[in-house]
Amino acid sequence: MTLYFEPDAKRARAIAKTLGGPARTAADLAELARLLDTGQGEQLLVLGPGVPLADALRIASGHRLTHPALGVVMLRDTVDVVVLGEAIRAGIREVVAADDAAAIRAACARSLELSRGLSGVAAAPATAPQGRVVTVFGGKGGVGKSTIATNLAVFLAGGGARRVLLVDLDLAFGDVAIMMQLVPKRSLSDAIAMAGRMDETGLRSMLTTYAPGLETLLAPAGPAEAERISRELTSEVLTVARNLFDYVVVDTPPFFNDHVLAALDLSHDFVLLATPDVPSLKNLRLTLDMFDLLEYSPEGRHVVLNRSDSRVGLTAADIDRVLRVPISGHVPSTRDVPVSINRGVPLMADSPDHPVSRSIRQVAEAHLGARPVGVSESDAKQPQRRLFTLRKGR
């Protein structure tokens, strides 16, 4: 059974209707204390938006040790980083906007699932499955990292069939927001206040939704904010993310820095990009040598040649002679890519049967363990319909 505390009777009735199911309600602190003392094994306490923040924090911290299986979900009229930080320190599991019924029900379900595991009602697996971290990297600017990363993330999400997070780790000059027509109200810089205490609630507070199944974690608004993000914080964010998502796709700047190394250390797969020109191929060869020094798994390296059909005087033999590794994917050159970038709609979302979309899909299916949900191996070779419908206004 659920406990629900909200002093305002009108709001209490409205949110109790949202919660549904049996619940024991309290209108003041004394009544809540009585319900907790005479508890019937409750595993969820919902604190309504009318509960003063100080009281909510005191309630959560006071029962964190005495009732460890009791999960606390706090509803607020306004959710900001300051409130989230204080909630995390007090042991509150979720902070949700009071007017978002779907988010409230989802938060309560997650909290109950965790409480049942802690109380032994539902046995948790010995090791929780982790999502797959895929870092897209190229040692030279202009090779199409952000284009590949955004389209790859769209395909992996499968219209909501998988949970995918796209992280823009080009902290100073990230382009994911503009390429996907997203307004960066929140970004990685919001993680600074939660350093050392990052959890699911904190991470979700920073995300911007693109489409069903696809969340984004955007780069800071400017280079000054980027300088305040440490390598340790990047590792912390990605570690939490891989426990919440099926895939975490990381877009990177065109050079090695602490943040890129943090992402590479946690990655299962590396999509390494180049274009058919000598400087780009040279930088990719140097990248592969660096990967050898850092002892990153050769099996996880997937070399993709972007704009592979460009006639620039290099033959396939020339490219093989420079790289000395198999090429996992060839993405053709087309003016439709810059058109899609200027529109802010990835080709994979708008034209899943486009040659560029098919090439990226083939890489994901062959090397990243992904197939269109509900499509058999034989049917996967057939053209696929549009993966999902974009939000109204795109």
Q: Are residues 212 and 322 in the same domain?
A: yes
Residue at 96 is within a domain: yes
Residue at 337 is within a domain: yes
CA distance 323 to 307: 16
Query: What is the reported pLDDT for 223?
Result: 81
Q: Are residues 101 and 175 in the same domain?
A: no
- Check which CATH number belongs to the domain holding 33 and give it: 3.40.50.2300
CA distance 324 to 288: 10
Query: What is the reported pLDDT for 355?
Result: 94
Q: Are residues 11 and 136 in the same domain?
A: no
Total count of residues recorded for the chain: 394
Residue at 391 is within a domain: no
291 SS3 class: helix
Paired tokens of 352: 């899943």
pLDDT, tens only, 84-93: 888 888 888 8
Residue 327 sits at the vertex; the CA angle it makes with 156 and 344, to the nearest 5 degrees, is 40
pTM for this structure?
Answer: 0.64
Q: Are residues 218 and 366 in the same domain?
A: yes
Q: Give the per-residue SS3 of 96-110.
A: EECCCHHHHHHHHHH
Q: Are residues 29 and 158 in the same domain?
A: no
Q: Which of 80, 96, 119 is the last residue of a domain?
A: 119
Q: Which of 53, 87, 119 is the last residue of a domain?
A: 119
Q: How far is CA 298 from CA 260, 269, 301, 370, in A?
A: 18, 9, 5, 20
User: Which helix H or strand E contains 45, and what residues bound it?
Assistant: strand 44-47
Residue at 39 is within a domain: yes
Q: Are residues 208 and 88 in the same domain?
A: no
Q: Are residues 18 and 144 in the same domain?
A: no
- Check which CATH number belongs to the domain holding 149 and give it: 3.40.50.300
Q: Which of 91, 119, 147 is the last residue of a domain?
A: 119
Q: Are residues 57 and 196 in the same domain?
A: no
Residue at 390 is within a domain: no
What number of CA atoms fall less than 13 Å from residue 89's CA on the CB side?
A: 13
What are the residues whose beta carbons fall under 8 Å from the beta carbon of 147, sequence distance 6 or more? 179, 306, 337, 341, 346
Positions of the chain with pLDDT lower than 50, given as ranges: 121-127, 376-394
Closest CA to 111 of 200, 11, 207: 200
Residue 98 sits at the vertex; the CA angle it makes with 92 and 103, to the nearest 5 degrees, is 75
Query: How many structural domains are present in the chain?
Result: 2
CA distance 124 to 105: 22
Domain that holds residue 184: 132-381
Q: How far is CA 296 from CA 139, 167, 196, in A?
A: 16, 21, 26
Q: Where are the alpha helices (DSSP H) in 205-311?
A: 223-226, 231-242, 258-266, 278-294
Residue at 316 is within a domain: yes
Q: Are residues 79 and 136 in the same domain?
A: no
Q: Are residues 153 and 197 in the same domain?
A: yes
Residue at 387 is within a domain: no
Query: What is the reported pLDDT for 166?
Result: 97
Residue 84 sits at the vertex; the CA angle it makes with 81 and 87, to the nearest 5 degrees, is 155
Contact 25, 16 (CB under 8 A): yes
Q: Are residues 71 and 152 in the same domain?
A: no
Q: Are residues 148 and 185 in the same domain?
A: yes
Residue at 287 is within a domain: yes
